[in-house]
């Protein structure tokens, strides 16, 4: 079925839908990973975006229920060069096309993903409209004029959990009642495991798996949970998750984080580092085309080692805005010198811009979860 993708600057790309009819508009971005398309599709940080994969053959190994990173497909549309309809992998339980169709998400192929990626790298990430119903680029541009840009949108509210839940043995267990009513009696294994209150700004399942593997009991809280609830819960540590979009409109989370700084050890990743930076008085800005893929080189300034990391973000923290003596820069991106990590010189908190849990990606940064448990241990010992 014929389809057309039109960018807001007027560039258009002919393609073919392999999921049926539909139309959608969103920001279009690219991911450089060679594998892991199911994790990409279900990563809440991609909310409000169409994703194109730079690797040309997609669908080869199908899909399965074990590789999801949330409870649904999060992308607005999936753009690939060559869709492989028949999967060939012993883990596959279905095809990519059927998976997208069941969730009402457009998938297109026969699109020049190399040209699209090069265009985004030069012109920047931008809004686009994809349609099988309307193949007129001028009509697409008129529709795009009414589509809001990524900047200024609070997308966290569309992905955060409606209620609190335990994460145990690799699955979520809902907690009944108002999450704001939780107190220090909510923990089931206090003393056996580190009690961690994790804010859900769009949290990935593999983060929760990694925290559990590191010896944590995790309760996941909706993004708007107030600081007084966390204080009543009295956790050993606080985790700030990844999530989609612009951090500045998520002012309620920034306020809560500011109230909790210094209360307990704190660890943030991706959107979490941006919200933490804003709470510390820093600034954020939108990158030209973002960092998305499993091959981003990052230098650890504390050890001098180079880590290959998995990343997915379109905004970043302004390095200069945190140079006040209280915050120490710990990691930088070797491709563009952007900030990738910091820690506080006096208070027990640290954060990174990349994804130490990977899924997909290398495991170079898994040590950060152990760093978090060590910080909780040291804090408890005084």
270 is catalytic: yes
204: closest CA among 272, 285, 287? 272
Catalytic, out of 216, 270, 313, 331: 270
Residues 6+ apart with CB under 8 A from 220: 161, 164, 165, 166, 167, 172, 198, 199, 200, 203, 208
Q: Alpha-carbon distance 380 to 382, whole Å?
A: 5
Q: 200 with 222: CB under 8 angstroms?
A: yes
218: closest CA among 265, 165, 262? 165
357 is catalytic: yes
The strand order across the sheet containing 216-222 reads: 171-174, 165-168, 216-222, 194-200, 237-240, 266-269, 349-352, 339-344, 327-333, 284-300, 306-317
Dihedral over alpha carbons 243, 323, 369, 191 (to 10 degrees):
-100
Catalytic, out of 119, 291, 313, 355: 355
- Tokens of residue 184, six digits: 């220090």
**Element containing residue 356 per DSSP (H, E):** none
Q: Degrees (nearest 5) of the Cα angle 373, 376, 380?
A: 140
Residues belonging to the active site = 270, 355, 357
């Amino acid at each position: 079925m014929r389809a057309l993708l039109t960018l807001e600057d007027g560039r258009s790309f002919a393609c073919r839908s392999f999921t049926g009819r539909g139309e959608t508009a969103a920001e279009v971005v690219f991911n450089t990973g060679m594998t892991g398309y199911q994790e990409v599709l279900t990563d809440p940080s991609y909310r409000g975006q169409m994703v194109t994969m730079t690797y040309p053959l997609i669908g080869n190994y199908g899909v399965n229920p074990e590789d999801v990173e949330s409870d649904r497909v999060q992308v607005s549309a999936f753009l690939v060069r060559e869709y492989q309809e028949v999967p060939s992998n012993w883990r596959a339980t279905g095809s990519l096309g059927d998976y997208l169709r069941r969730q009402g998400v457009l998938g297109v192929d026969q699109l020049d993903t190399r040209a699209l990626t090069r265009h985004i790298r030069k012109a920047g990430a931008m809004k686009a409209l994809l349609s099988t119903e309307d193949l007129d680029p001028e009509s697409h541009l008129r529709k795009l004029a009414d589509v809001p840009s990524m900047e200024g949108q609070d997308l966290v509210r569309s992905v955060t959990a409606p209620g609190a839940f335990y994460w145990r043995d690799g699955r979520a267990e809902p907690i009944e009642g108002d999450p704001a009513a939780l107190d220090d009696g909510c923990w089931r294994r206090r003393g056996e495991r580190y009690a961690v209150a994790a804010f859900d700004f769009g949290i990935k399942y593999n983060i929760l798996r990694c925290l559990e593997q590191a010896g944590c009991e995790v309760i996941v809280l909706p993004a708007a949970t107030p600081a007084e609830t966390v204080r009543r819960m009295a956790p050993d540590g606080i985790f700030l998750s990844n999530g989609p979009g612009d951090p500045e409109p998520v002012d309620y989370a920034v306020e809560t984080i500011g109230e909790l700084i210094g209360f307990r050890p704190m660890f943030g990743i991706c959107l979490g580092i941006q919200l933490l930076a804003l709470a510390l008085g820093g600034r954020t800005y939108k990158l030209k085309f973002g960092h998305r893929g499993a091959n981003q080189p990052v230098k650890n300034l504390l050890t001098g080692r180079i880590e290959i990391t998995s990343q997915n973000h379109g905004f970043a923290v302004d390095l200069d805005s945190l140079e006040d003596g209280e915050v120490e820069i710990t990691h930088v991106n070797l491709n563009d010198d952007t900030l990738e990590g910091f820690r506080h010189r006096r208070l027990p908190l640290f954060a990174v811009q990349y994804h130490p849990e990977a899924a997909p990606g290398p495991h170079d940064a898994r040590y950060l979860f152990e760093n978090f448990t060590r910080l909780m241990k040291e804090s408890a010992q005084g």
